[in-house]
A and B are shown apart, each in its own frame.
Chain A
Amino acid sequence: MLSIDNLHAGCEGKTILQGINLDVKPGEVHAIMGPNGSGKSTLSTVIAGHEEYDISQGSILFDGEEISELSADERAHKGIFLSFQYPVEIPGVTVTNFIKTAINQTRKVQGLDEMPANKMLKKIREKAALLEIDSRFLSRSLNEGFSGGEKKRNEIFQMAMLEPKLAILDETDSGLDIDALRIVANGVNKLRGKDRAIVVITHYQRLLEHIVPDFVHVLHEGRIVKSGTKELALELEEKGYDWIKQGA
């Protein structure tokens, strides 16, 4: 589904990713771990298509198609979803109106009519329940004054609504207390499926206790220096990133 080959990318003239190779197949859950500054968030941002990042070398194939020239919205329409580490506040647009707009814009590109209001409402209710989101919350301005946990729950709620093929969860565990972490992880697990791939980007192992990955990759200085199965995450937790840094 996602095939990244020798990816070199960065912004403002600085190359941050120095030759990433990653292959993600439908149904798989990959975890990308690494110390601060290793390039984890850059990788997610580049896959999602931020304009300010330049790809100097390599390719990103999604379903066999080169996507590195596509805009972020075009990539979203193809089924790529990024859960932001720092979701942006948008005063004046409610959660409901935002997700309605996102869904209907995607449908428009796909040549479909707008989703009928009753169907939309039903889906919103269903997915909000999955993330244990109160209905009053849906009429608040997007992310404005939300707690860390509310913001992340809202990100996964949007993922549930948009039903992407590939979801990249960037530091979804940061700023979450244990209860929120459980709710968010449960939500993600319910969205796992044989046609959907998930890439979990995290600094700590604790999220991976809830969202158990098939593969774990360790990112260091813009390269994947080690790959393995879920046991690798435990090893990292035990030995710390210094172990990787010394090895690299």
Chain B
Amino acid sequence: MDLKETLLSSYLAFDAQDGPQRKLQDQRAEAIEVFEQQGFPTKKLEDWKYTTLRSLTNDEYVVFPKTEVSLKLEDVKQYILQDVDTYKIVFVDGVYNAYLSETTHEGADICLLSAALTKPKYAPVIKKYFNQIADKDASLTALNTAFTKEGAYIYVPEGKVVEKPVQIIHFATDKNPKLLLQPRNLIVVGKNAEVQVVERHQSLSTGATFTNVVTEIFTEQNAQLDYYKIQNDQAAASLIDSTYIAQQKHSHAKVHTFSFGGKLIRNNLNFYHKDAEINSTMKGITLIEGSQFVDHHTLVHHAHPNSESHQDYKGIYAAKATGVFNGKIIVEKEAQKTNAFQQNNNILMDDKASINTKPQLEIFADDVKCSHGCTIGQLDENALFYMQARGIPKKEARGLLTYAFANNILQSVHIDSVKKRINKLIADKLGVNIGFDV
């Protein structure tokens, strides 16, 4: 049985179960039909031209976890930000883990989607936002909708500034091997509200896992969202992340994506402007080696005047690693005075490494400023010699140059603990002691 068939037959069982998914019956039925018709995306689709999921779809994955797993803090501590006080929503093999979590209902609701789906008091929010910005025609998103049961739920009411960052962490263990995880997150940042989120998917074993996560985010008028995705998973773990952000007037949504490890990572990051004077920022560092694969597909849909978007992605590819960057910017006719900036710079460290990078601009307004640039290069030999001549050995010189290439992305990271961690991850990956802080 291929994975599509497994999923379709599992759906029947899932649909028959009692659980929070009951509340979404109509939407899920619609979604499974989309997936049934389309199946997994193939290279024939323009958006999947450089990315094949065959290694995943030809494999067998398990849709439901068999055993409930408890974890000791000691075992997972290293994956959780410790030097900063945070809220935590932690899942282990797709199941909420209360022991590792720290949720709240004071001032804001930082809890579980399953709770929000079942308790009547959340019904209006679910009705207003759930599955409202996710792309209903995208087969992988539809697949996630069809199996929606659990995930993070964050609702920040008007005027509330959430002081502590929120960590959303999904662990996968070897107790449920070859698990297909489909978490669903819903985040609403109310008018004048602010929240910081750090999201991580971490496999605790070297076995294969496959995560198909969908996150819907709504930033209401003048809301501020600061979101960090840390993707530094095991070599056999794959992740497809589809994030949809709907922004209202004067809101600013920022997403940083750090892709340092995993077998296959595909990020679909989408910003939709629902009003004027909106700001969207997306930045990323990709640093991979071996035969790892990372694909960034971004979309900014400028539909109203006087808005800005800023994209800056750096990629460093060693050995046989492959990258894809596709930055789509749509500027509708009404979206005059749009200022859209996009940059993608890449370094190929070895002959067999590769990157496919493509800006995709569709501009229908005539008074806009859109700039884009992409570069692919190697480390500067003259700079390496210069550094060596000052006593910095070649390995360290390469590390320092690579670090310097990527580090401007870290300047906009506003959680110190995240900045330190990313800094260390980069230094470790490059095998150097950077010797100074950013």
Minimum CB–CB distance from A53 to chain B (whole Å) comes to 10
Q: Which residues of chain A are within 8 angstroms of B386 by Cβ–Cβ distance? A: 84, 87-88, 90
Bound Cα distance A76, B380 (Å): 20
Complex partner residue of B405 from A50, A77, A92, CB under 8 angstroms? A92
Complex interface: stretch among B41-49, B276-284, B392-400: B392-400
Is B389 within 8 A of A82, CB to CB? yes
Q: Does A88 lie within 8 Å of B383, measured CB to CB?
A: yes
Contacts of B392 in A (CB 8 A): 73, 101-102, 105
- Complex CA–CA separation, A230 to B387 (angstroms): 33
Docked Cα-Cα span, A110 to B405, in Å, equals 29
Query: If the complex has contacts A93-B404, A97-B436, A100-B436, are A88 and B382 also in contact, measured as CB distance less than 8 A?
Result: yes
How many B residues face the partner with a CB closer than 8 A? 26
Q: Are A162 and B407 in contact (CB under 8 A)?
A: no
Contact A90 B435 (CB under 8 A): no
A49 and B391 contact, CB distance less than 8 A? no
Task: State whether A93 and B400 are in contact (beta carbons under 8 Å apart), knowing that A51-B385, A84-B386, A87-B386 are contacts in the complex.
Answer: yes
Interface string of A72-115 (1 = CB under 8 A from B): 11011100011010011111110001101111111001000010
Q: In this assembly, does B341 line the interface, its C-beta being within 8 Å of a C-beta of chain A?
A: no
**Contact between chains at A91 and B388 (CB < 8 Å):** no
Asked if residues B391 and A73 are in contact (CB atoms below 8 Å), the reply is yes
Asked if residues B390 and A158 are in contact (CB atoms below 8 Å), the reply is yes
Nearest-neighbour CB distance to chain A for B353, whole angstroms, equals 21
Asked if A71 CB lies within 8 Å of chain B CBs, one says yes
Within the complex, which residue of A52, A72, A90, A97 is in contact with B389, where a contact is CB–CB below 8 Å? A72
Partner of B383, one of A72, A76, A90: A90
A162 touches which of B391, B400, B403, B408 (Cβ 8 Å): B391
Q: What 1/0 flags go to A32-59 for Cβ under 8 Å of B?
A: 0000000000000000111110000000
Cα–Cα, bound, A82→B375 (Å): 31
* Interface size in chain A (residues, C-beta < 8 A): 34
Of all chain A residues, the one with the shortest Cβ separation from B407 is: A92
Q: Is B391 within 8 A of A90, CB to CB? A: no
| Complex: chain A residue closest to B411, CB-CB | A92
**B403 and A105 within 8 A (CB):** no
A103 to B391, CA, bound (A): 8
Q: In the assembled complex, which residues on chain B have CB atoms less than 8 Å from the CB atom of A162?
A: 390-391
Minimum distance in angstroms from B46 CB to a CB of chain A: 35
Chain B residues with Cβ below 8 Å from A72 are: 385, 388-389
With A72-B385, A76-B390, A102-B391 known to touch, is A88 a contact of B400 (CB < 8 Å)?
Answer: no
Question: B196 CB to closest chain A CB, in angstroms?
Answer: 25
B80 located at the interface, meaning its Cβ lies under 8 Å from any Cβ of chain A in the complex = no
Chain A residues in 8 Å Cβ range of B396: 101, 105
Of A84, A87, A109, the most chain B CB neighbours within 10 A belong to A84
**Proximity bits, B113-157, A CB within 8 Å = 1, else 0:** 000000000000000000000000000000000000000000000
Interface contact A105-B391, CB-CB below 8 Å: yes
Nearest-Cβ distance from residue B425 to partner chain A, whole angstroms: 17
Q: What's the Cα separation between A75 and B394 when bound, in Å?
A: 13
Q: Which of B367-393 contact A (CB under 8 A)?
A: 380-383, 385-393
Contact B382–A71 (Cβ < 8 Å):
no
Instruction: List 16 contacting pairs A-B, 8 Å CB cutoff, sorted by A.
Output: A49-B389, A52-B381, A72-B389, A73-B394, A75-B389, A76-B388, A77-B391, A82-B389, A88-B380, A90-B387, A90-B401, A92-B403, A97-B435, A101-B435, A102-B387, A105-B391
Interface residues of B (CB under 8 A from A): 380-383, 385-394, 396-397, 400-401, 403-408, 435-436
Known pairs A84-B389, A101-B435, A162-B391 / 8 extra A-B pairs, C-beta < 8 Å: A52-B381, A75-B389, A76-B389, A77-B391, A90-B386, A90-B401, A92-B405, A92-B407
Report, nearest first, the 5 A-B pairs whose CB atoms are least far apart: A92-B404, A72-B388, A76-B391, A88-B386, A102-B390
